Structure 1
Amino acid sequence: MLTKPIEAEVTDELLDTADNNYHTPEWAKHVIWYQIFPERFRNGDSSNDPTGERVNGPEGWAPTPWTSDWYDRADWEKSMGDSFMDGVYHRRYGGDLQGVIDKLDYLMELGIGALYLNPIFEAVSLHKYDASCYRHIDRFFGPDPEGDRAIIEQEDPQNPATWQWTSADKLFLKLIEEVHNRDMKIIIDGVFNHTGTDFWAFRDLAEKQDESIFKDWYAVKSFNDPYVGSVFDYEGWWGHKSLPELKEEGDTLVKPVREHIFEITKRWMDPNGDGNPSDGVDGWRLDVPEEVGKGFWKEWNAVVRSINPEAYTVGELWTSDSKEWVSGELFTAAMNYPFAKSVQRYIIDQSISTNEFLDELEEVRNSFPKDAPYVMQNLMDSHDTPRLASMVVNPGREYNEDGRPKLGFDVRKPNAEERRIQKLVSLFQYTYVGAPMIYYGTEAGMWGAGDPDDRKPMVWPDFEYDPERLDPLDRERPVDDNNFDEKLFNWYKKLGEIRNEHEVLQTGNFVPLPSDEQEYFVFARQKSSLDFAIVVINRSEEPRQIKIPLANFELPEHTYLENQLTDTGIEFSEHSAEISLPPVSGAILIPEQKDQCD
C-alpha cells in the first residue's frame, strides 16, 4: 500500500557539512579502476538466470550461451526479425553478483584497487538504467529471485521503515565486505535523471493519472482525459518513452523525489545505519549529471559527505565543461573522456602533433582544482563507446562516433600490429596523471563496435569460446579466435604492478621533457629531483634512438635507470641518457640502486 511521502531529514546544517574547499579522498589517488557491466561479467550462479517472462521474450526464449559466437542468432532471435539488432537487446547471459565475488582475486592479480559497477538496482533491461526501484539490488543478480519479489511486494516504497533486505541485497553487502577485505574500494551507478516505466511511482502514475499522489514526480506534459481529447504524455530521456524523466523545479529535483534519493543514498552508504560507513559503498558514479540542476547535486553531495567524508563521487561528463562540475560542492572527479579523445587522436589516429597533444592534456589538467587531476578516471573505453581494440582497428573516426557495423565499422579482431598500438595506449594510460580505468575484458583481448557490441560476455581463461565467424551485415570477414589473450593480460598485469609499486606514478607531477621530435615524446612523473620516473612514448612505425635529458634529476652514485617493462638498465651520462625503442613502443625508466657486489 502506498502512503503519504515521509519527510527526509535534510537541513541547512547538513548542507553546511559540505566543505567549500575541494577535497580528494587520499585512496582515490592510488587506485586502478575496473568497470564491470554486471550482466556480462561472470555467471556465478546459474540458478538465478533471467526468465523469458522477465525479459518479455518470445516463445522459445532462453539465456544465450556464454561462449557462443556473438553474431550467431538463436531461433527465438530470428523470430523477432531479420536483423541482428532485432533481438540482441532481449538476450541475457546470466551475469550476477556471485560472478563478481568469484573473480575478485582475478582483479587483485590484475592490480585493480577500485571497482565501478554499472547499475545494479532492480530493473527490467540488461543495462539497468531503467530502474524499477533504487532500494533493492536486481533480484536476478542474487540467489533467490522469486523470494526477493515476495519481500519487495510487502514494502511501502516510500517508507524506509518498511524496507527489508532481500537475498540479492545481502549478497551485494557480502560483495562490499569481500572487496574491503582485499583493501579495494567499490562505487555504484546512480541514475537520478530518469527511471524505467516499471518504477513503482511511475506505475501508480500511469494507472491513476492526475489522481496519483506521484503526479508531481515526473515531467508530465498531459494526462489521459477523453473529455478534452488529451492523452498521457511525459518527457522521456532523449525522447525515449521507456525512460521517463524525473521532475525538476528550478535547478533541483522536486522535493519528494530528492528526499527519496537521499534515503536510498544513505541505505547503500551506511547499510547498518549506525554512522559507520565501512560496510557501505565507497562512492557513486552519476549518470548524465548535467541533465539535473546543480542545486540538486550540491545538496546530494552534501548528504554523501555527511555520511562518509572520504567518499568519491564521479560524474559522467563528456566535454571540457566537466570542469564546472568538479568542486568542493559538487563532484570529486569526472570520467575523463577528454583524455580519451586526445589519446585516440595522438596515438591511434596520429592526427595531432606531440605539441598539440601536450597542449590538450595541459588544458584539461589546468581546468580542475589542484588535486583533481590525480583522481580523474582516465578511461579509454566504456559501455558507451567502441572498445579500445576496435578503436585501433577503425582509426580516423570521431571519438564515440556511432561505431556500428551498418556505418562501415570493421568488427574483426585486431592483428599483431594493432595490438602494439593498444599496448602503447595502455602504457600511457597507466603512467599519466590520473587513475587508469579499464573496461571489463579490455585486458583479456576483447573487441567490439559500439552498443551492443561493446557489451559482449567477458572472455575468461577457463572457457573455450566459439570462433567469431559471422557478421551482422553478412559481409566477408576472417574467422577470429575469441579466447582469453594471456599475453595481453600479462601486459596489463605488468603495468599494474609497476604503477602500484611506484608511488611517483600515482602522485608525481607531470613534467614534459624537451624534444624537437613529433613522433615520440618523453615526460617525467616527479616528486623531487631524486624521486622520479621517466616515460618514453614512441608512436612511430620506425625504431628510434631517443635521447633523454637528465638536467632536472639527481642520480646518486651507484644508481642506474631501469626500464621496468624489460628489467634492463640503460646507460646515462651527467646530463642525458639514450634508449633504443622498437616501433610503436615505450619505456618506463626508474632509478634503481646498483648491486655493490657487481
Structure 2
Amino acid sequence: MSTFLFDSRDDRCKTPFGAVPTDDVVTFRVFLPISYQLREPALLVYKADRWDSPERIPMHYEASDGVSCSYTCIFYSPDPQLYFYLFEVAGVNGKMRIARDQDGFGVLLPQGGEMWQLTVYDKAMRAPEFMKNGILYQIFPDRFCASGGAKSGVPSDRRLHRDWYELPEYLPDRNGEVTNSDYFGGDLRGITQKLTYLKSMGVGTIYLNPIFEAHSNHRYNTADFLRIDPLLGTEEDLRELCARAKALGIRVILDGVFNHTGADSVYFNKKRRYGNGGAYNDPQSPYRSWYEFTNYPNGYQSWWGFQELPNLNERDPSYGEFICGENGVLRKWLADGISGWRLDVADELPDEFLDRVAACVKGADPDAAVIGEVWEDASTKVAYGIRRRYFLGGQLDSVMNYPFRDAIIAYVRHGDCNRLYSTLLSILEHYPKPVLDVLMNSLSTHDIERAITALAGEPISGGRDWQAHNNTLSPEKYALGKKLFMLASVIQYMLPGVPCLYYGDEAGLYGYKDPFNRTCYPWGREDPELIQFFRTLGAIRSGCPALSSGSFSAVSFTPEVVSFLRDCGGESYYVAVNRTPSEQPAVLPMEFKDAAVLYGSLGADGLLPPYGAAILVLR
C-alpha cells in the first residue's frame, strides 16, 4: 500500500476512534511513501470557523518498512471544541497537504482540500441511563388509543370523527386553509390502558407529540403551556400515566415547542378566545415582549411565515423565566413524573436558551433527557449562520437521527450501500459516545412518510391530492413494503443508539406525509406477523442493553447484502440483511460458524434467503 497516507477510521492512523472527551490524548500517524521524497510532516488543527490560525504540531519519525516512513504526534484539548485538521508536508517542489478525499482517505494535494473533523466534548457529559433500556416509542396522542372516558372543558369548535379507521381530513376548508381541526379522540388514559402492550414490544421510553392545550390536532401551536389539552385528559391523567409506566420500567418524555406559540393562545390571543388580553390585543400585556412585532399588531415574526404560529423571543428575560425558572414550565412537568423533553425545531432556539433549558432540566433531574429536532449531522450544524454547539456539553443529550433513517431507506429500497456505509461511519466518528448511546433512530415520524410507503410506494411527486390518490398500496406493494420494512428494522434495531418505533408501524400502518402518516392505530386490524416480528426485535434489544453502546464494525457492504458486528461487553452480535428477491451469500466471520441464531436464518452454505436476515450471537 505505497499510496496509503492516512485514514481517520484506521487505528493505525488515529487513536482513539471518533470524538473524544476533553483532556483525552489523540495520537495521529501518517505514512509517507519513501519514493515521494516528503519530509517535515506536521498536523494542522483548526478551531471551527477560524481558518486563518491553525495550531501546527510537528510530527516525529517513528519507523520505516522500506516502502513508507511513519510519523506521529499527539493532540489534546482541555476545552470542548469542534476541530478540523489535515497535514502539511514539505515536498520537492514546496509545501503540500495531506487532505481528505471523498471516501475519507488521505490524498496528497498542492493546496486546499477537505479536512477531517474532530469533536472534543466535555468529559462531564453523561447519557440518560433510562434511554438505554429498551426501545423508544413515539405516539401522536390523538391517534393512538381513545379510552372512551368523559371529557370536560373541550372547546365546542372541535370536530370529532365517528369512524376511528377513516383518513384524517386533508383538503383545505372553503377559505383555502388547512386547519388541522379534526380529531379522533385519542387520549392519555388510552395510552395508560395500552402500557402492557407497549411493554411487550420492548418499549423503555414513550415520546409523546405535544399534549398541551392547543387548537389543532397536532398541537404544535401551543395555547397554554400549563394545561393538558382537555381532549387528551387532565394533569392527573398524565401523572397516572407516568407513574404506571415507571412501574413497568417505562419512562415518558414530552415534546417541548418553545420557539413559537399558536396565535390562538393565552399569550398571543389573536382570536380573543382568552378574553381581551394577550400580546396581539394589549401593548401592555405581560406577554408583549415575548413576541417580535414589526408593525403592531398585524406585523409580527412568525415561524416560516405562518401567521398562526407567531415566533417567541427566547432571549426575553420574562419568557426565559417562564420556561426555565424555578417555577417554570420545564420543572412543573418534570415534577409530574416525565423524564425529559424533545425540543421542537432546535435549530431555531438560540444557544443561550438551550444552555438554560439543559441546566434547568438537569438541575431538576440529572438523568432526564434533552433531545433536539435536528435533521442533519448535528455535530457540525450551521443554522442561520451560527455554528451550533449541541454536542460539546451542556446542551443536547441526543437528536432525531434522520441521517441514519435516510441512509437505511436508500439502501433497503435502492441498494445504495456506499451511502449507508459512509453515513454510519460519519455519525459514529463525529458524535460523542454519550450521544451515540442514546441517538433517536427512527424509520418513520410524524414529519415524514411512513417506512412501508417510503420503501414500496410511489416516490412523492405531488401535494395532498396526489398523496391521497396514491396513498393506498396494492396487496402486492404492501407485501413488498412489509418485507423491506422488516429488513430495515433489523438494521435499525441493531445499530448503536436507541431504535424508535412510530406508533402503528408495527401493526402495518403506512402513508405519505401529514396527515396520511397520522392515521389511527388499527386496533383489531393489526398485521399479526409484524406484531410478532417487533416483539422479537424488542426482546433482543431489551435482553441486551449494551447494544445501545457496544462497538460497531462493518463486515461487508454490497448492493445485495449488508453485514456488521456489534461487540457488547462479553457478547458479540453478527447481523446480515439480504435486500434482494433471491438467495445471497453472506460473509460470515469464522468465529460465528457455531453461533446461536436469535432471529432469521443463515444456511449451512452461508446463504441468506430472499428478503432474509439473520442475527447471531456469541456469548
TM-score surpassing 0.5?
A: yes
Q: Which deviations, in whole Å up to 9, do the C-alpha atoms of 1:547-576 show, x marking residues without a partner?
A: 3123xx5x7xxx93122124x6865xxxxx
The corresponding residue for 1:30 is 133
- After TM superposition, the structure 1 = structure 2 runs for residues 379-398 of structure 1, keeping only pairs within 5 Å, are 379-394=442-457
Match of 1:561 in 2: 595
CA deviation after TM superposition for structure 1 residue 371, in Å: 2.6
Deviation of 1:54 (Å): 3.4
Q: What amino acid does structure 1 have at the position aligned with 2:608?
A: L
| Partner Cα separation in structure 2 for residue 71 and residue 102 of structure 1 | 23
Q: Does 1:534 align with 2:600?
A: no
Give runs of aligned pairs for residues 407-486 of structure 1, distance below 5 A: 410-413=470-473, 414-461=477-524, 483-486=525-528
* Structure 1 SS opposite 2:532: helix
Give unmatched runs, 5+ long, in structure 2: 1-120, 270-276, 381-388
Q: Which has the higher contact order (CA 8 A, sep 6+)?
A: 1
- 1:343 maps to 408
Q: Which residue of 1 aligns with 2:540?
A: 498
**1 CA distance for matches of 2:517 and 2:292?**
32
Residue 412 of structure 1 aligns to which amino acid in structure 2? T
Distance 1:206 1:255, change over 3 A: closer
Residue among 342, 346, 351 paired with 1:289: 346
Partner of 1:90 in structure 2?
Answer: 181
Opposite residue 599 of structure 2, the aligned amino acid is L
Partner residue in 2 for 1:270: 335
Alignment deviations for residues 84-105 of structure 1 (CA, whole Å, 9 cap, x no partner) = x977823111111111111111
Tell me if 1:520 matches 2:551.
no
Give the corresponding residue for 1:474.
none
State the Cα deviation string for residues 12-69 of structure 1 (Å, max 9, x = none).
xxxxxx97732112222232000001111111034228967233xxxxxx52124343
The reply on whether 1:359 has 2:422 as its aligned counterpart is yes
Question: Out of 295, 309, 327, which is 1:222 matched to?
Answer: 295
- Provide the C-alpha distance between the structure 1 equivalents of 2:482 and 2:517, rounded to a whole number of angstroms: 17
Would the aligned equivalents of 1:562 and 1:569 in 2 still touch at CA under 8 Å?
Answer: no
Q: For 2:154 and 2:286, locate their aligned partners in 1 and report how far apart those are by CA, in whole Å.
A: 32
Indicate the residue corresponding to 1:591 in structure 2. 618
In structure 2, what residue type is equivalent to 1:437? C
User: Is structure 2 residue 309 aligned with structure 1 residue 243?
Assistant: yes
Q: In structure 2, how many angstroms separate the alpha carbons of the residues matched to 1:492 and 1:300?
A: 35
Check conservation: 1:340, 1:379, Cα contact below 8 A: yes
1:333 aligned to which of 373, 390, 398: 398
CA distance in 2, matches of 1:207, 1:503: 50
TM-score of the aligned structures, taking structure 1 as reference length: 0.75
SS in 1 for 2:214: coil
- Work out the CA distance in 1 between the residues paired with 2:534 and 2:254: 24
Query: Which whole-Å CA distance do the structure 2 matches of 1:333 and 1:72 have between them?
Result: 33
Alignment of 1:51-66 (within 5 A): 53-55=156-158, 62-66=159-163
Quote the offset at 1:205 in angstroms: 3.5
| The one of 247, 251, 256 aligned to 2:318 | 256
Name the amino acid aligned to 1:523. F
Q: CA deviation at 1:382?
A: 0.6
Distance between the aligned counterparts of 2:583 and 2:517, measured in 1? 33
CA distance in 1, matches of 2:306, 2:253: 27
CA contact (8 A) 2:254 2:342 kept: yes
* Cα separation, partners in 2 of 1:358 and 1:342, compared to 1, 3 Å: same
Q: How does 1:163-174 map to 2 (within 5 A)?
A: 168-174=234-240
Secondary structure (helix, strand or coil) at the match of 1:325 reads coil
Partner of 1:582: 609
1:237-278 deviations in Å (ceiling 9; x for gaps): 111111111124xxxx2100010001111111124xxxxxxx
Deviation at 1:210, TM superposition (A): 2.4
Instruction: Count how many residue pairs are aligned between Structure 1 and Structure 2.
Output: 478
- Greater shift in the superposed pair: 32-41 or 341-350: 341-350
Preserved CA contact (<8 Å) 1:348 1:395: no
2:268 corresponds to 1:202? yes
Structure having the larger proportion of residues in helix: 1
Q: CA deviation at 1:356?
A: 3.5
Question: What is aligned with 2:553?
Answer: 511
- Between 1:294-303 and 1:195-204, the stretch displaced more is 195-204
Alpha-carbon distance between aligned partners in 2 of 1:444 and 1:338, rounded to the nearest angstrom: 25
Q: Distance in 2 between matches of 1:532 and 1:37?
A: 36
- Shift in alpha-carbon separation, 1:19–1:265, aligned structure 2, 3 A: farther
Aligned to 2:98: none
Q: CA deviation at 1:536?
A: 0.5
Say whether 1:185 aligns with 2:281: no
C-alpha root-mean-square deviation of aligned residues, in Å?
Answer: 2.7
